[in-house]
Amino acid sequence: MIELVQSLRRIMSHLDDVRGIALVGMDGLVVEEIKQDPLADLHTLAAELSVSLKQLTEVTESCSLGRLETFQMEAAAGVAIVTAVGAEYFLLLLLRPGGNSGRGRFYMQLEAHRMAEEF
């Protein structure tokens, strides 16, 4: 678990606008999380997004686009970015509104690659 926390902290160290970050199983259960905003409900967001991710994965595969790597959703309260970590997990990053999502995606992809090799 210490390695997971260190991986999440590495991503956060490059961003100023993080509300929370988590490693989530494809079943929607949070494996590890770090929150900077106590109101960030990563557990509910992860559970709801896991259902959508399964559907989006089916769409990308049926359209011959390959495996879904990254998904981003913007709403009034913030930006949620999801990055695949192998086939069984995903990283969930929640940024404040107007957060630097490009930078978030970049560092999530770097860390997701490292984490996938460990799993």
- Which amino acid belongs to residue 78? G
What digits encode the pLDDT tens for the residues 61-97?
899 998 889 999 999 999 999 999 988 999 999 999 9
Computed over every residue of the chain, the mean pLDDT equals 92
Collect all residues with Cβ–Cβ distance below 8 Å to 114 and sequence separation of at least 6: 7
Taking the C-alpha atoms of residue 18 and residue 91, their distance in angstroms, rounded to an integer, is: 13
Phi (first) and psi of residue 98, to 5 degrees:
80, 5
Could you state, in order of their start, the residue ranges of all structural domains in the chain? 2-118
| CA neighbours closer than 13 Å in the CB half-sphere of residue 6 | 5
Tell me the pLDDT tens digit for each residue of 21-73: 999 999 999 999 999 999 999 999 999 999 998 898 889 989 999 888 999 99
pLDDT at residue 10 in the model:
95
Classified by CATH at the fold level, domain 2-118 comes out as: Beta-Lactamase (3.30.450)
- Full-prediction pTM beyond 0.85? yes
